[in-house]
Structure 1
Amino acid sequence: MKKRIISGLAALAIVLSGSGAVFGNVVDLQFDIAASAESVASGTCGENLTWSLDNEGTLTIRGTGEMNNYVHSYDSDIGKGYSKSIKRIVIEEGVTSIGNNAFTTYCNGITDVTIPEGVTSIGANAFELCRLTSINLPDSVTSIGDFAFADCTKLKSVTIPRNVSSIGKNAFKSWFESDLESINVDPDNSYYSSVDGVMYNKDMTKLVTFPCGKTSVTLPDTLTSIDENTFYECEKLESVIIPNGVKSIGESAFEGCRKLKSVTIPESVESIGKDAFYDCTAMTSATLPKSNIKIGNYAIGYCYHLAEGYPWSPNFVEDGPRVNQNFKIYCYEGTSGEQYAKNNKIAYELREDIEPANPVVTYTPGDGCVTLKWKAVKNAEKYAVAVEVDGKWTIVENTSDTSFVLRNLKPGVNYSVAVLSMFDSKWYVNYSNMITVTPYAKTPVYPIVTNTEYNEIYNQFRIHWSEVEDAEKYGVAVYIKGKWKIADQNIPATKTSFTSPKLTPGHQYKVAVCAKVNGNWQTDKINSRAVTVTIVKGTTLLKGDVNGDGEITVTDLTKVAAHIKGKKLLSDDEKLRADVNGDGIINITDISKIAAHIKGEKLLS
């Protein structure tokens, strides 16, 4: 179908009755209507489904029922021959499934896909290697196949809908550098859950998918195992806290995490699989537990090195695993950790049994914040800053530093704060070193009325005031019969003006503005901050009399037409007079009503 652009012109001609004079005033309203783009390729992809590609790069799947499943990626001919042209995919309503390997071969250049409500399954490898930047999965989806979105490296976040009950192996895995930082699950999903963008099964005993773009993770205490390949090739991961409760770390679980610097294996772990931390090239230390555990070959401290020299050279070194440079194991005497270090000729240091302790904390107050400081505790792996809220202690930050700025505090309010130490991946929960901290009290700042405007037509006033830092909202009060009465107490903090309703001419009103800060209205000194507004007798608003000369004529019509065409915009007062039907919009309807009044067909009220 040939693409056509249709240009239209709408004109209004007004013929004045009586003297027979004719006045023509034309309002140009130009618009373009784009017809469907031209189809360049098409085919079938299901018993009742077809695909078509237009010359703008949109590939559309339409029809009813399930898409074909393709055994191999090269079996799909959807978009065949046009892989460089396809930009987006639109799947229309009526389609109920997306087939295996549907788009991975010829459509992998797409950045956008529309999946409609009604699609229940997304097949294995369906979008593998596609350059999608976002996906919106409908609530109808119940299953996502193996590798369905694997190596979609440009994805930044994914939300799993509430009805998904099955997610295949490596559905969102990337073996290349990935931007994916969060996989969030609808809270109403009965099978999966998520914390901090990491996806788990519902009871959080098993990690399902880790987004490869994340740089750090603290795993939940409910986790019982870390399966093989869970963090494989997560090249951006820099730190991980493994909780006490994990019993096994699978084969190649963290292999290829080349920015991971150190790891502490908790006392609960019974086995570490082969290559578990292999090729973690930035890792300089690993802390192993007191217990004797099973440690697989090359599990910790090894990375892959290429061959050096030539095979016939006397200094030739074959490629393969070697111990990381500057790597050290921290372990206990007589344990499997010490034996592993000796067997593999890895540098190690024996740990001492030291009673756990939390640091002594001091603080410096600031504006809305306090700076906490403490001395390092021997053998502590990390620290947690905890705050008591409503009688319960809540950890607000994990840090390896010995200082932290606690922000967003209410001025002058006391807070109970403690810093906990971590030993063997477990927090030493003891709040006996708790301290009370107080940020600086803030001198109240009140909103000051900076300008008052008056509309004589409607007998209304508008006041403007200065912005107050940390204001949650504003309120306006009016002094009537010896008492302050609220006129509006729900003015957003982003708005610093108020327009009154229509008022009685000849009256004076005492008005004050208050801000709500930290949950409290600042009503003190309200009398000294008030301003007085006098309402003088206003004029009568004549709808249609745009120029305000007391008559409705062709001149008024011309001004409205010029405003609609954008040639000369009306002032605020002129807009009030031009909006004859009172819908808040000045358009052809208002012109028609003014024209009918001028011709005497229907007078304006």
Structure 2
Amino acid sequence: MKSKKIISGLLALSLVFGGAVVPSAVIGNSVISASASSICDDSLFISYGGNHAVDFTSEDNHYSYYIFKDGTVYLFEIQGLYDDTGEWHKYDEEMVMPSEIDGKAVTCIGYAAVGTNSIVKKITVPEGITMIDNGAFQSSYSLESIDLPDTVTYIGDYAFECDEKLKSFKIPPKVTTINNLTFMGCKSLTSVSIPDGVTSIGDYAFEYCESLPSVNIPDSVTSIGDGCFYGCVNLRSIVIPASVTSISKNAFVKDEYYENNEIKYRPLKNLTIYCYKGSYAEEYAKANGLKYCLLDQGFVYKQLDDNTIEIIKYVGNDTEVNIPSKIDNIPVTSIHSAAFYGSNTIKSVVIPDSVVSLGDAVFGGCTNLENVSLSNNVRSIGQVVFSGCSSLKEIVIPDSVTSIDSAAFLDCIGLEKVYLSNNLETIGASAFNGCKSLKEIVIPDSVISIESAAFVNCTGLESVTIPKNVVSIGEYAFAVCDNLTIYCYTNSAAQQYAIDNEIKYERIDASKPFVPTYPTNIKVDHSEQYHQVRFTWDKVENAEKYGIAVYLAGKWRIQTQNITGTIYTTPKNLTPGKTYKVAIAAKVNGQWDVNNAIKNAVTVTVK
């Protein structure tokens, strides 16, 4: 028995290390050497009387392996054992590769270590493995997932060839080359993560990965091999960085056919190449009749007829995103629908003041988005723009905005504070539906309509102040807000809504023993990210406008006198640690009550 195993091991050795004739794979009109040679050769191993193979039986398996001269193991065959019933048992649905055999550390999974099978569904490779040799896991027809450790530095040719049910793959960060045929025939592969550090993608590396919809190639890659994405019929988008200086002619081919005794190729007609202006990829796309869109800093964009730029899509992976105000010296004025949809790496976004238009669902499903600085010139918040942004805690809607469209903040379950535009007129249907962390909302005087279900399921909402000017409140606007008190005016639409829906309410104008002519209940919020300070205060009855003054160099200096609402946000990037004394005055019946404003001044320190 043992002698047969050693012979079997030597036969495998002749394939892996020997000098036998190596077969070739014929693909289309191309021939690729399906080299069965390992990255290792005989000189690296300890010899036992001219043989290298060693057999070892543990409690749960029988292995054949070679020993490197450094004492570590090259595992080339998992043979299995007889089970309790006497049946030969080689594979289970879940396989954990050994980290050591007979006290020796395993560092390399060898050629065809896991032989052709339709049993194994999951493989775990332990820390310490550094090499996955050619064909190590090929033809594991039922394999759905494999976990490789960060210690892996090399993955060989056709390592996962014809693993037809493999769904996703994360290439370890130390791997520098995706070799020939690595994922050939992985028909179910829908995602592959390529790390920075990979410099080349080999010939036919992803051939016939028929379910693969998109690929993001990192900046480290310089070459894409022949037939790399041959037959990837559902590939819709690929990001190619400016670092790529070589793409083989048939890299993006659907199939081939004969015409007049010549082989011709049909391109992947649904593919769009995202590339940089003036890059090799742009020229390649033009020369081969492929669709392409231009990139800048990870932003896909197009120039509009009015000589402005629209951001179409974001394909970067930064956590902090600053949208440029200009691309090629042309102003960026709009962001297309769903441009950032589902970008879960993003934590903060700054939108420049050049942007006036946000399309629907721009940031929908960005579950890790925490901070957004909106353009001060954006006109409306479109449908489902921030829907599902569950990590978003605060939003300041600038005074340029006049409408918030339906479901704009749907299911922003972490949203705690909302500062509405002082020129807002309409709050759309389901605009804040499911914002369960929202406790208080002050509707500005400019609003005239709150549409149906606008704040439905805001289960944490305790206080909402609704001005006289609101004349329409839709059905279920505040449904399932069980702890809510509505603060409203006598005979207003808000009071009637509260009565009709049996919601607790208090009339703001019920009794007025004292009517101040200066702002009271001044609150201060700080933004450490943008080094800003925001002031809010209670509305002063009959106030025409408000003003802000700061005490500098022994004098009160007016900053603005044209505030129409009860919110003021300082400019960004104030000096952290600097302390200011700030007075907020109201103009009532044509008079500024400066004295009381100064008496009630607040002191703030920039964070």
TM-score normalised by length of structure 1: 0.39
TM-score normalised by length of structure 2: 0.39
**Bigger radius of gyration among the two:** 1
Q: Greater relative contact order: 1 or 2 (C-alpha under 8 angstroms, separation 6 or more)?
A: 1
